[in-house]
Structure formats: C-alpha cells, structure tokens
Amino acid sequence: MIDFFTAEEGRVSGVQKGYRGRRAQRSIQAFLLGELDSSNAEGLVSVYGFEVSNNLAPTNDQTASGFYVLELIFRALVERQQEPVVFSAAVKALAELQSGSVPHLLLRKFERTLLDQLGYGLDFEQAINGRSQEPEVIHADTAYHYQPGLGFVRDFDRPDAEASLGGVVISGATLQRIKTEDYADASICRDARMLYQSALTLLIGHEPLESRKLLDVTLGMEG
C-alpha cells in the first residue's frame, strides 16, 4: 500500500504491483518527487511504476519539519481533491528545508497557503465587535480573540487578553505583522504558530499530529 500526493489528482492511494519481482520499486519512500505510472481506476489504484526525478528528503535535523508538511496534507485533504497550488507549495517547502532554510518561517508560510487554498484563510482586516456582533476594522492597539470558524472577535470581557475561550488572544499589531509575514521578532512567529495551529483544527480536527509532537521536541515553540 502506497499513498501519493500528485499535482493533477491530489491524494492517491494505491497498491504497488510486482513488488517481489521489481527491486527498484522497493525504493519508493517519503519525500521522493517523480512520475507515477498507475491505473485510472476510482478509489484504490494499481501502481505499476514510479520514476524518481528528485529526492526532497530533508537533512536529519529538518526531518520532523518535512514530515509535518506531509502529515498536514494527508490530514487536511480528502482523496482525489485536486490542489495544484498546495502541491507546488509543498514541493517548495521541502526543497527549502533541504537547502537549510529556517524551518519555522517556511512552515508558517505553508500553513497559511494550505488554509487559504482550502477556503479557511484568515481575514486580517476585519474583526467582529463582541458587543454589537458587527464587523469592524482591526486596530493595532486592540486585543482580539480568534475563534476557529468565526474569525477575530474584540472581546470586551477580556480587554487585557489574559484568557481565551479555547482559542488564541492576539493583538492587532501582531496580526498586522503576521499578515505581512514579518517574523523578524521571534515572539511574532510564536504567535503565528499558535494562530495557524488553532485555525488548522477546522481542517484536521483536534487529534494531535505525530509530527507535531516531534517538532515540539526538536524545535520547541518556534517549530
């Protein structure tokens, strides 16, 4: 059994044919980029071959980040969901990891792309007034409570942003910097991490990602 993420067909699950007699096929593994030869059947396909064009496996200290990208894709997408932009973003993220780019910066960009492309992108311009329930412009000097599925809410009961109702409380100034992907300050990147992790629950649920656990160990709060 093999799972692929393809540019044209999205997630594809298949059964590898001729495994015992074709030694080359045993090399199929995570992070390989190439051309897939398979049947066109709906559901489970028969995999006849896979010609590798590039190995995007991250270096050892970046492996957790690489698996995080892959696990996000397979948790967020259903089979045959065509997402060419996500495919391109994943290839780019893995290539940058392999070249030694700072993991937490590119992971935030990938999370944002995934959310945007799947219809769960964040509106960094507007919030909901917690009293009137009307939309309002986000201001730098105001704290907002992010609620998955609803967006940013100005919560008058928590003006000091000391608590949240299962979401993330974040300042308008920080939101402005996250919007422009200004992560020069490590605290902004940490806030973006918490924000995107909260938003991603709409796609992947609350079950922890195995790669996320490893990232927390290897990269800490910046991962």
Question: In the sheet where 151-154 sits, what is the strand order?
Answer: 135-137, 126-129, 151-154, 143-147, 168-171
Residue 167 has a pLDDT of 64
pLDDT at position 23 over 80: no
**Which pLDDT does position 43 carry in this prediction?**
79
Secondary structure of residue 38 in the 3-state scheme: strand
3-state secondary structure 67-117: HHHHHHHHHHCCECCCCHHHHHHHHHHHHHHHCCCCHHHHHHHHHHHHHHH
CATH at residue 172: 1.20.1440.120
SS3 call for 136: strand
Same domain, 86 and 34: no
Confidence of residue 195 (pLDDT cuts 50, 70, 90): very high
- pLDDT of res. 20: 53
Do residues 31 and 79 share a domain? no
pLDDT digits (tens, 9 = 90+) for 35-70: 988 887 787 888 888 889 999 999 878 999 999 999
In degrees and rounded to multiples of 5, residue 180 shows phi and psi of -90, 5
In this structure, are 29 and 115 located in the same domain? no
Task: Return the higher-pLDDT residue of 26 and 105.
Answer: 105
In this prediction, what percent of the chain has a pLDDT beyond 90? 61
Torsion sign, CA atoms 137, 119, 219, 99: negative
Q: Is residue 11 domain-shared with residue 39, that is, in the same domain?
A: yes
Q: Residue 223: is its pLDDT beyond 80?
A: no
Contacts of 36 (CB under 8 A, 6+ apart): 4, 6, 12, 47, 49, 50
Same domain, 123 and 78: yes
Helical (H) or strand (E) element with 1: none
Higher pLDDT, 39 or 192: 192
The answer to whether residue 166 scores a pLDDT higher than 70 is no
Average pLDDT, the chain: 87
211 in Cβ contact with 107 (< 8 Å): no
Count how many domains the chain has: 2
pLDDT of residue 146: 93
Range of the domain at 119: 58-223
Taking residues 212-221, report their average pLDDT: 71
Question: Which of helix, strand or coil describes residue 188?
Answer: helix
At residue 140, does pLDDT exceed 80? Answer: yes
Give the closest residue to 89 by CA, choosing from 134, 56, 52, 123.
56
> What value does the mean pLDDT take over residues 93-99?
95
d(CA 34, CA 55): 9
Residues 202 and 132 in one domain: yes
Mean pLDDT over residues 110-139, rounded?
Answer: 95
Residue 121: pLDDT over 90: yes
**What pLDDT does residue 213 have?**
81
Residue 6 falls in which region: left (phi positive, over 0), alpha (psi -120 to 50) or beta: beta
- Band of residue 31 on the pLDDT scale cut at 50, 70, 90: very high
> What are the two backbone dihedrals, phi and then psi, of residue 144, each rounded to the nearest 5 degrees?
-130, 145
Q: 3-state DSSP call for residue 216?
A: helix
pLDDT: which is higher, 217 or 60: 60
157 and 122 fall within a common domain: yes
The answer, yes or no, to whether residue 122 has pLDDT greater than 80, is: yes
